[in-house]
């Protein structure tokens, strides 16, 4: 047991020594590069507010304040107060009204922020639509990209033509035949009644029969 703990202490001392050798901070020339929030590949000019909203990303949610929020809050509060003793309902009604008013005044600023963001969003949409552009995600990271529609389509076609090619015919039938012949030659390893379950099915419109009999 003593030897076991000695080995553990040696490992711990080694890890601590290795940790001390590592630099505490990364040199300026070796700092990790982060993806930009927004990349504008068009000639569209955005204001500071528009740019800040774009930098929040496409997943940012401008939450719409619920119109029925205050009505529901007042009704539920009144129902809760009515469950109390009638002698103290008046006191709690006054306290609840004061608290609801305080909450309402506190939440006025987010409401103004939401309206302002909605206005900025419409301005961005107008500029993008007017210049026949679109807003999309980058291939890597969460960067928001503004690009002309024509440039976007050209990039998609270039990617497809460089990475995919069109077949001259459907090779399915050829591969099905090859697999069936290979399975027939495995009768010493596989039982014939099992081979038919592993044989690829033919197309419904095919007139050929399955070479493997049950």
212 φ/ψ angles, rounded to the nearest 5 degrees? -95, 115
pLDDT, position 49: 93
- For residue 32, pLDDT over 60 is answered with no
> How many angstroms separate the Cα of 210 from the Cα of each of 62, 97, 184, 201?
60, 81, 12, 8
Residue 119 sits in the same domain as residue 75 = yes
Which carries the bigger pLDDT value, residue 107 or residue 131? 131
Confidence (pLDDT) at 27:
53
Same structural domain, 77 and 182: no
Q: Are the beta carbons of 145 and 138 closer than 8 angstroms?
A: yes
Torsion, Cα 166 170 174 175, to 10 degrees, reads: 70
- pLDDT score recorded for residue 120: 93
Q: Convert the pLDDT of each residue in 153-201 to its tens digit.
A: 999 999 888 888 888 888 888 888 888 888 777 777 777 777 777 776 7
Q: Per-residue pLDDT averaged across 90-111, rounded?
A: 78
> Is pLDDT above 50 for 214?
no
DSSP class of residue 203?
P
Digit-coded pLDDT (tens) for 133-148:
999 988 877 899 999 9
Looking at 159, 187, 202, the residue that finishes a domain is 159
Provide the pLDDT for residue 157.
92
Q: Which of 159, 185, 205 delimits the end of a domain?
A: 159
Question: Which residue would you say has higher pLDDT here, 52 or 106?
Answer: 52
In a domain, 61, yes or no: yes
Q: How many domains does one find in the chain?
A: 2
Q: Given this model, what pLDDT does residue 173 score? A: 85
Residues 175 and 152 in one domain: no
Structural contact between residues 137 and 58, judged by C-beta atoms closer than 8 angstroms: yes
Per residue in 48-94, pLDDT (tens digit) is 999 999 999 888 877 665 666 777 888 888 888 888 888 888 888 88
């Amino acid at each position: 047991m003593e030897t076991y703990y000695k080995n553990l202490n040696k490992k711990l001392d080694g890890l601590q020594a290795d940790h001390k050798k590592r630099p505490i901070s990364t040199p300026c020339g070796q700092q990790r590069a982060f993806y930009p929030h927004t990349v504008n590949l068009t000639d569209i000019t955005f204001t500071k507010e528009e740019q800040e909203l774009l930098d929040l990303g496409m997943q940012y949610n401008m939450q719409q304040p619920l119109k029925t929020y205050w009505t529901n809050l007042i009704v539920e509060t009144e129902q809760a107060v009515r469950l109390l003793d009638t002698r103290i309902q008046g006191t709690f009604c006054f306290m609840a009204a004061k608290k609801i008013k305080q909450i309402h005044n506190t939440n006025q600023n987010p409401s103004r922020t939401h309206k302002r963001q909605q206005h900025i969003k419409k301005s961005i949409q107008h500029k993008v639509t007017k210049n026949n552009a679109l807003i999309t995600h980058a291939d890597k990271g969460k960067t928001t990209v503004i690009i002309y529609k024509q440039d976007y389509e050209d990039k998609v076609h270039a990617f497809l033509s460089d990475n995919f090619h069109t077949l001259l015919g459907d090779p399915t039938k050829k591969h099905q035949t090859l697999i069936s012949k290979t399975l027939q030659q495995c009768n010493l390893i596989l039982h014939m009644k099992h081979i038919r379950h592993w044989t690829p099915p033919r197309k419904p419109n095919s007139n050929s029969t399955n070479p493997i009999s049950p």
